[in-house]
């Protein structure tokens, strides 16, 4: 497969793809700064809870510190919190660019296949990922900084591994563990990256860099300590682990569908049904199960392809395997890091199929430009919905009409807007779907008392 023979770009232009990617990210999220606090933001940030009140921030000291700094800088001005979220997101895109670029420059692995295209491909990956609408929940929904900040530290672990910065990698891993449990898989993925792209075997990786992996493994004491202390509370329900795992096959299939066609994004999936038995697993779920097997085989057949699959499924494993998280069976923010594997596969894999002549660069450039424009526009529109709580909850109710929590939050929003009669309608619907919903019962009583509607 012949690579394009073009004149190497002067060093000053090597950063151009990254700059362009950053500008695309800024443009896509330029209208997100005035989005108010919504959903879990209200308890975790707006009410400034004591340390013993369980919220998204509980048991996550690094995450809590980041919000404390925002509060110290800007008080309750929501623009400050959104600016921090966007900076974290852009930083993730920059580190992703660095990882992809340095990986494609590995002559011992790729030869000269990406000699002249590697930095542009890295820029395309960063741009597409930065503007993808599936990431809006981790960026525009303020408290889900938990996902993006943990993602930044996760990426830094891999980047520091590539640069052989051992102490920095361990520090990044520890900070990630203190941000969100997502980082718990970072030592495993780092070892797999080493085996795939650097050492070519687990034995060599462990023999050469055993102090690094000992240090990374040592950071597991942080999430273990959080679990033992009970600081996070318990969101593990009474769903059978096997049923939860089967349910997650369908959930992951849904995530992949949204990555390919990001329409119908939902803030809250509280009503996602549990799958009982293999016979209830849909086509998408069965394809996910098959892909797990294929990627496992690819770890030996096509190691780079197998690594992308492992990145996707290993990062999702803590929340999307057998541990039943009943309060959040599905959540789009979980795709923040895993979606990178899909973008790399689409961009770099597409280039490997396409690169056969001088016209390929133009075709690839046009395709990436169109993709970034379409995805960025959808992200811009989604951010507009985050700026209007009634709009985002109305959309949630329209897409998930059996979700009692969505009806409750739409009612709560309308109560705040001074429309108690309309709020009461939503509270009643929430109670129809979940009769034991205590918060909805109390809210309904308040809504009836504030309106002229007779009590029923």
Digit-by-digit pLDDT tens for the chain (456 residues) are: 333 333 344 555 678 999 999 999 999 999 999 999 999 999 999 887 554 567 889 889 999 999 999 999 999 999 999 999 999 999 999 999 999 999 999 988 898 889 888 999 999 999 999 999 999 999 999 999 999 999 999 999 999 999 999 999 999 999 999 999 999 999 999 999 999 999 999 999 999 999 999 999 999 999 999 888 776 666 676 789 999 999 999 999 999 999 999 999 999 999 999 999 999 999 999 999 999 999 999 999 999 999 999 999 999 999 998 888 888 999 999 999 999 999 999 999 999 888 666 677 888 889 999 999 999 999 999 999 999 999 999 999 999 999 999 999 999 999 999 999 999 999 999 999 999 999 999 999 999 999 865 544
Write down the pLDDT at residue 359.
76
Q: Are 151 and 92 in contact (CB under 8 A)?
A: yes
DSSP string of 244-282, one letter each residue:
HHHHHHHHHHHHHHHHHS--S--S--TTPPPP-SGGG--
pLDDT at 115: 84
Question: What six digits make up the tokens of 298?
Answer: 């690819």
Supply the angle between the helices 145-163 and 166-177 in degrees, to the nearest 10. 170
The pairs formed by 320-324 with CB atoms below 8 angstroms and a separation of 24 or more are 320/248, 320/251, 320/252, 321/244, 321/245, 321/248, 322/241, 322/242, 322/244, 322/245, 323/236, 323/241, 323/244, 324/236, 324/237, 324/238, 324/239, 324/240, 324/241, 324/243, 324/244
What is the CATH architecture of 389-450? Alpha Horseshoe (1.25)
Best CA proximity match to 189, nearest among 88, 322, 340, 86: 340
> How much is the pLDDT for 356?
63
Domain extent listing, the chain: 14-386, 389-450
Is 435 exposed, middle or buried, given 0-12, 13-18 or 19+ CB atoms closer than 10 A?
exposed
Q: Produce one character per residue of 329-366: b if its CB has 16 or more CB atoms within 10 Å, e if not.
A: bbbbbbbbbbbbbbbbbbbbebbeeebeeeebbeebee
H helix runs in 75-144, sequence order: 78-104, 107-110, 118-131, 136-140
Torsion angles phi and psi, residue 215, rounded to 5: -65, -45
Q: What is the DSSP string of 207-228?
A: HHSHHHHHHHHHTTHHHHHHHH
Enter the DSSP assignment of 182.
G
Retrieve residue 159's tokens. Answer: 């980047």
Q: Which helix (H) or strand (E) element contains residue 197? A: none
Whole-number pLDDT of residue 1: 32
Rounded-to-integer distance, Cα 444 and Cα 430, Å: 10
> What is residue 363's predicted lDDT score, i.e. its pLDDT?
87
pLDDT at 322: 86
Look-up of token digits 């509607």: 453
Whole-structure pTM over 0.75, yes or no?
yes
Candidates 200, 208, 153, 127; CA nearest to 379 is 127
Please say whether the beta carbons of 161 and 192 come within 8 A. no
- How far apart CA 291 and CA 26 sit, in angstroms, is 34
Chain centroid to Cα 449, Å, comes to 41
CA distance linking residue 133 with residue 336, whole number of Å: 10
Opening angle at CA 393, ends 389 and 399, nearest 5:
150
39 and 142 in contact (C-beta within 8 Å)?
Answer: no
Task: Say which residues have a Cβ less than 8 Å from residue 272's Cβ, sequence separation at least 6.
Answer: 247, 251, 329, 330
């Amino acid at each position: 497969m012949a690579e394009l023979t073009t004149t190497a770009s002067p060093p000053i232009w090597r950063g151009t793809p990254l700059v362009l990617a950053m500008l695309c990210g800024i443009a896509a999220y330029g209208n997100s700064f005035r989005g108010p606090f919504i959903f879990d933001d209200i308890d975790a940030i707006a009410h400034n809870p004591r340390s013993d009140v369980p919220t998204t921030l509980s048991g996550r000291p690094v995450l809590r510190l980041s919000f404390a700094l925002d509060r110290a800088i800007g008080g309750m001005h929501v623009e400050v919190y959104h600016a921090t979220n966007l900076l974290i997101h852009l930083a993730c895109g920059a580190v992703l660019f660095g990882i992809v670029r340095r990986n494609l420059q590995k002559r011992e692995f790729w030869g000269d296949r990406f000699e002249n295209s590697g930095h542009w491909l890295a820029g395309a990956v960063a741009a597409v990922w930065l503007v993808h609408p599936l990431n809006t929940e981790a960026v525009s929904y303020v408290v889900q900084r938990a996902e993006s900040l943990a993602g930044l530290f996760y990426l830094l672990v891999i980047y520091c591994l590539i640069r052989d910065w051992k102490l920095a990698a361990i520090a990044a891993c520890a900070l990630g563990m203190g941000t969100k449990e997502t980082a718990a898989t970072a030592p495993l993925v780092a070892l797999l990256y080493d085996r795939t792209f650097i050492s070519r075997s687990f034995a060599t990786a462990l023999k050469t860099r055993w102090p690094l992996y000992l240090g990374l493994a040592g950071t597991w004491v942080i999430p273990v300590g959080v679990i033992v202390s009970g600081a996070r509370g318990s969101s593990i329900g009474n769903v059978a682990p096997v049923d939860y795992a089967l349910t997650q096959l369908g959930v992951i299939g849904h995530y992949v569908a949204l990555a390919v066609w990001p329409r119908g994004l939902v803030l809250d999936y509280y009503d996602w049904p549990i799958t009982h038995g293999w016979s209830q697993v849909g086509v998408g779920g069965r394809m996910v199960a098959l892909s797990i097997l294929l990627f496992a085989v690819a770890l030996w057949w096509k190691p780079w392809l197998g690594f992308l699959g492992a990145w996707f499924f290993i990062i999702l494993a803590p929340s999307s395997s057998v541990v039943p998280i009943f309060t959040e069976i599905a959540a789009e923010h979980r795709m923040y890091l895993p979606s990178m594997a899909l973008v790399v596969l689409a961009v770099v894999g597409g280039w490997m199929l396409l690169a056969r002549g001088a016209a390929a660069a133009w075709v690839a450039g046009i395709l990436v430009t169109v993709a970034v424009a379409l995805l960025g526009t959808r992200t811009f529109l989604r951010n507009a919905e985050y700026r209007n709580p009634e709009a985002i909850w109305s959309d949630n109710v329209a897409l998930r009409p059996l979700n009692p929590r969505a009806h409750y939050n739409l009612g709560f929003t309308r109560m705040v807007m001074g429309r108690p009669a309309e709020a009461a309608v939503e509270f009643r619907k929430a109670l129809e779907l979940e009769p034991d919903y205590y918060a909805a019962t109390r809210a309904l009583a308040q809504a009836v008392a504030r309106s002229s509607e007779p009590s029923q």
